[in-house]
């Protein structure tokens, strides 16, 4: 597991559902085919209403027009991030766009599992609501050893909830590697 | 400690005497279901992790039901069904419901029940969030992603965190103008779209047990809209009669233990409840129909795993019968069995199909249709700034297509009544 994750942050609000993360019209791409998997990055978060895209100002595209990836590395969201469908295309699209971690108040269960078991990104939770305190474009640095992150743009530091049960899976890489390490699967 | 219904089912699947909420356990899976949108990715992961020549852990326990993108010119969608077809052939899977054949079904959650794949006491995982529908049969059923499904394909097992149970009791039979959709929209409005996150939602009371299986499926179907991990209803004779009419496979009814502990319990008096809608753009944006009546709508949509069963169409037909719709109205039977029953079920001597056609509604083919928007050429998709009232399950921005469209969720009664006036209408005006 990495010791730190650093990069620009894209800020979203509450209940960002999987249809906003990757609209259903793009689900005919097959994530098992590498060339098609890249397309999920192109369309990542294109379903978010313009006013909520890149808070607090809004109207900021997550993936600039014509680009295949996003300039942002971290997402900060509010409550219930990733609610809605079970499509694994959602964390895949964020990863394909360049996201390494999401920081939210809490997650919808299936998105959380998919992110961890597939090893796409780390879903951090925070004890306090932060999506109004951080601005899209700020530079964040997550310290995985101290369970906190710094906003290098403002100089403020915020606590993260310890990852708990999922640490062994994140450390292993994904649920398959974890199952092999724990003896559930033959090597 | 005495276990709830959900805990007891999970304990059996973990081969343990007891499980407690919050612990992580490995469980044996009875049925894995996948479809055309998540099947190709699942198969890709299965082959990548277990090898090109790997075989599924138990071919009797894998069910593949293409249903999402069937009636579209999107070539990648057709290609995805080819991937399913090839995999089924290679693995010699008996439970496949292929497009373009007599076996084609449509919406997986309804097809699972019709084909006897939903059974009390069992564990069902599916690559679709509405897999929770099957909890209506007294089983543990929930949605998963491709990675978890690929893992199950190879091992027949998955790790789960045991959820605490929230219990919702409906006292008294439902008044004639209410449907299960009104009950679940009410609950979601009360607890919020994240209100049951990582928890089980159990339904009980004579209000629930007065419902037929399809209505119980509607209740469990939408627990995911409250963030619930699974919805569940303890089996009664209605459950057993339904399941035994669909399958000869043996199953074991599992019940809650005396004195089981619940995270919370909420009791509703059925007779005090009103028809409700979820306003745009969230399933918890609840309003009584009486509060929003008169709001203009451009479209009415009756379909999906939530609101496209024969019970839903009988309800809609009661209101549409002998009347003309004032707004564009789509009737989208969930499965081919529902579609056949539209031609058989009659009200006052007319088939449901005739009632819908006479009213001016459009009847579409059996699939997930426009519930989730889908490819741009999907029948009924909201491609502009339409305002739709729908029997479907989700109304986050852009769910049924365009980001500038808006969706009101409601019962088949309320959607049919609104179709007749072009405005949100209380079904009590017609019942």
pLDDT, tens digit (0-9, with 9 covering 90-100), for A80-124: 999 999 999 999 999 999 999 999 999 999 999 999 999 999 999
Chain A, residues 93-122, CB within 8 A of chain B, namely 106-110, 113-114, 117-118
User: What are the counts of helices (DSSP H) followed by strands (DSSP E) for chain A?
Assistant: 6, 7
DSSP state of B282: -
Evaluate whether B98 touches B67 at the Cβ level (below 8 Å). Answer: no
Asked if B194 and A15 come within 8 Å (Cβ–Cβ), the reply is yes
What is residue A184's predicted lDDT score, i.e. its pLDDT?
A: 86
Other beta carbons within 10 Å of B178:
24
Asked if B147 and A114 come within 8 Å (Cβ–Cβ), the reply is yes
Q: Does A61 touch chain B (CB under 8 A)?
A: no
CA A56, CA A61: separation in Å to the nearest integer?
13
Q: What are phi and psi of B233, to 5 degrees?
A: -135, 130
Q: Does A176 touch chain B (CB under 8 A)?
A: yes
Q: How would residue B35 be classed by pLDDT, with cut points 50, 70 and 90? A: very high
**How many Å separate Cα A69 from the centre of its chain?**
14
Asked if B194 and A83 come within 8 Å (Cβ–Cβ), the reply is yes
Asked if B373 and A85 come within 8 Å (Cβ–Cβ), the reply is no
Is the pLDDT assigned to residue A187 strictly greater than 80? no
Q: Do domains B5-251+259-267 and B276-426 have the same CATH topology?
A: yes
Domain boundaries, chain A: 4-162
Chain A, residues 62-81, CB within 8 A of chain B, namely 79-80
Between chain A and chain B, how many beta carbons pairs sit less than 8 Å apart?
144
What is residue B399's predicted lDDT score, i.e. its pLDDT?
A: 98
Asked if A106 and B197 come within 8 Å (Cβ–Cβ), the reply is yes
Interval B203-211 mean pLDDT? 98
**Order of strands across the sheet with B230-232?**
B230-232, B200-204, B165-171, B264-269
Evaluate whether B254 touches B223 at the Cβ level (below 8 Å). Answer: no
| Model-level ipTM above the cut of 0.90 | yes
CA B120, CA B100: separation in Å to the nearest integer?
31
CA distance A83 to chain B (A): 7
Evaluate whether B224 touches B129 at the Cβ level (below 8 Å). Answer: yes
Asked if B227 and A85 come within 8 Å (Cβ–Cβ), the reply is no
Query: What does the pLDDT look like over B344-379, one tens digit per residue?
Result: 999 999 999 999 999 999 999 999 999 999 999 999
- Average pLDDT in chain B: 98
Q: Where do the H-state alpha helices sit in B132-212?
A: 146-155, 180-191, 206-209
Q: Does A175 touch chain B (CB under 8 A)?
A: yes
Evaluate whether A74 touches A103 at the Cβ level (below 8 Å). Answer: yes
In chain B, what residues touch A27 (CB-CB under 8 Å)? 37, 68-69
How much of chain B exceeds pLDDT 70, in percent?
100
Nearest residue of chain A to residue B222 (CA atoms): A84
Q: How would residue A186 be classed by pLDDT, with cut points 50, 70 and 90? A: confident
Architecture in CATH for domain A4-162: Alpha-Beta Barrel (3.20)
Substitution target from A34, A61, A86 for chain B, most B beta carbons within 10 A: A86
Other beta carbons within 10 Å of B253:
16
The encoded tokens of residue A114 equal 């998919």
What is residue B77's predicted lDDT score, i.e. its pLDDT?
A: 98
Query: What does the pLDDT look like over B291-313, one tens digit per residue?
Result: 999 999 999 999 999 999 999 99
Substitution target from A32, A46, A163 for chain B, most B beta carbons within 10 A: A32
Asked if B394 and A84 come within 8 Å (Cβ–Cβ), the reply is yes
CA angle B354, B289, B193 (to 5 degrees): 105
Q: Three-state DSSP class for B26?
A: strand
**Order of strands across the sheet with B406-409?**
B286-288, B276-278, B406-409, B387-390, B299-303, B328-332, B362-363
Asked if B194 and A20 come within 8 Å (Cβ–Cβ), the reply is no
What is residue B58's predicted lDDT score, i.e. its pLDDT?
A: 98
CA distance A80 to chain B (A): 6
Is the pLDDT assigned to residue B282 strictly greater than 90? yes
**How many Å separate Cα A62 from the centre of its chain?**
12
Name the residue among B83, B147, B397 with its Cβ closest to that of A175: B147
Nearest residue to B135 via CA among B65, B228, B43 = B228
Phi-psi region of A87 (alpha: psi -120 to 50; beta: other; left: phi over 0): beta
DSSP state of A56: T
What is residue B388's predicted lDDT score, i.e. its pLDDT?
A: 98
Fold of B5-251+259-267: Aconitase; domain 3 (3.30.499)
Fold of B276-426: Aconitase; domain 3 (3.30.499)
Nearest residue of chain A to residue B227 (CA atoms): A108
Phi-psi region of B278 (alpha: psi -120 to 50; beta: other; left: phi over 0): beta
**Order of strands across the sheet with B95-96?**
B95-96, B62-64, B31-34, B123-126, B140-143
CA B12, CA B32: separation in Å to the nearest integer?
17
Substitution target from A110, A116, A118, A183 for chain B, most B beta carbons within 10 A: A110
Asked if B128 and A89 come within 8 Å (Cβ–Cβ), the reply is no
Q: How would residue A1 be classed by pLDDT, with cut points 50, 70 and 90? A: confident
CA distance A155 to chain B (A): 32
Name the residue among B129, B157, B372 with its Cβ closest to that of A110: B129
Q: What sign results for the dihedral spanned by CA atoms A152, A155, A158, A163? A: positive
Strand partners, B63: B33, B95
Name the residue among B74, B131, B198 with its Cβ closest to that of A28: B74
Name the residue among B44, B143, B151 with its Cβ closest to that of A110: B143
DSSP string, B205-228: SHHHHTS-HHHHHHHHHGGGGGT-
Substitution target from A83, A169, A181, A186 for chain B, most B beta carbons within 10 A: A83
The encoded tokens of residue B234 equal 């303890």
Q: How would residue B416 be classed by pLDDT, with cut points 50, 70 and 90? A: very high
Chain A, residues 120-159, CB within 8 A of chain B, namely none
Q: How would residue B423 be classed by pLDDT, with cut points 50, 70 and 90? A: very high
In chain B, what residues touch A180 (CB-CB under 8 Å)? none
CB-side neighbour CA atoms (13 Å) of B10:
29
Other beta carbons within 10 Å of B74:
17
Domain boundaries, chain B: 5-251+259-267, 276-426
């Amino acid at each position: 597991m990495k010791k730190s994750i650093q990069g620009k942050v894209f800020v979203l609000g509450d209940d960002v559902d999987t249809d906003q993360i990757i609209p259903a019209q793009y689900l005919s791409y097959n994530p098992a085919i590498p060339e098609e998997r890249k397309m999920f990055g192109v369309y990542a978060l294109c379903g978010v209403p313009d006013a909520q895209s890149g808070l607090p100002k809004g109207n900021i595209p997550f993936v600039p027009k014509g680009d295949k990836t996003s300039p942002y590395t971290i997402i900060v969201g509010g409550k219930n991030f990733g609610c809605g469908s079970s499509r694994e295309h959602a964390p895949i699209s964020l990863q394909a766009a360049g996201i390494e971690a999401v920081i939210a108040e809490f997650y919808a269960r299936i998105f959380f599992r998919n992110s961890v078991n597939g090893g796409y990104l780390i879903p951090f939770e925070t004890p306090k609501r932060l999506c109004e305190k951080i601005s899209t474009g700020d530079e964040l640095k997550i310290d995985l050893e101290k369970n906190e992150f710094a906003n290098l743009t403002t100089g403020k530091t915020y606590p993260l909830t310890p990852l708990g049960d999922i640490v062994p899976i994140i450390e292993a890489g994904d649920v398959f590697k974890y199952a092999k390490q724990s003896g559930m699967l033959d090597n | 400690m005495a276990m709830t219904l959900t805990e007891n089912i999970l304990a059996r699947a973990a081969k343990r005497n007891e499980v407690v909420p919050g612990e992580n356990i490995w469980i044996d899976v009875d049925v894995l279901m996948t479809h055309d949108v998540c099947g190709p990715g699942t198969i890709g992961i299965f082959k990548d992790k277990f090898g090109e020549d790997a075989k599924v852990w138990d071919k009797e326990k894998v069910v593949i039901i293409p249903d999402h993108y069937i009636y579209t010119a999107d070539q990648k969608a057709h290609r995805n069904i080819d991937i399913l077809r090839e995999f089924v052939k290679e693995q010699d899977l008996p439970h496949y419901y292929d497009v373009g054949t007599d076996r084609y079904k449509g919406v997986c959650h309804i097809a699972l029940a019709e084909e006897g794949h939903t059974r009390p006491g069992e564990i069902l995982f599916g690559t679709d969030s509405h897999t929770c529908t099957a909890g209506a049969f007294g089983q543990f059923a929930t949605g998963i992603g491709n990675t978890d499904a690929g893992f199950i394909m190879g091992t027949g097992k998955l790790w789960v965190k045991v959820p605490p149970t929230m219990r919702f009791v409906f006292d008294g039979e439902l008044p004639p103008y209410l449907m299960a959709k009104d009950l679940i929209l009410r609950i979601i409005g009360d607890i919020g779209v994240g209100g049951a996150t990582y928890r089980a939602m159990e339904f009980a009371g004579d209000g629930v047990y007065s419902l037929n299986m399809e209505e119980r499926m509607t209740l469990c179907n939408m627990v995911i809209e409250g963030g619930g991990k699974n919805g569940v209803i303890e089996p009664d004779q209605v459950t057993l009669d339904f399941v035994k009419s669909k399958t000869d496979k043996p199953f074991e009814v599992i019940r809650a233990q005396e004195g089981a502990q619940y995270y919370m319990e909420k009791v509703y008096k059925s007779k005090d409840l009103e028809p409700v809608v979820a306003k745009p753009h969230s399933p918890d944006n609840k309003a009584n129909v009486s509060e929003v009546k008169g709001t203009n709508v451009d479209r009415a949509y009756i379909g999906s795993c939530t609101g496209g069963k024969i019970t839903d169409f009988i309800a809609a037909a009661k209101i549409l019968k002998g009347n003309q719709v004032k707004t564009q109205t789509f009737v989208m039977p969930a499965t081919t069995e529902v579609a056949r029953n539209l031609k058989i079920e009659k009200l006052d001597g007319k088939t449901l199909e005739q009632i819908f056609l006479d009213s001016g509604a459009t009847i579409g083919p059996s699939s997930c249709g426009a519930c989730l928007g889908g490819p741009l050429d999907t029948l009924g998709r909201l491609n502009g700034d339409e305002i739709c009232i729908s029997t479907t399950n989700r109304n986050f921005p852009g769910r049924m297509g365009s980001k500038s469209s808006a969706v009101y969720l409601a019962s088949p009664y309320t959607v049919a009544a609104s179709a007749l006036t072009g405005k949100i209408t209380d079904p009590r005006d017609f019942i």
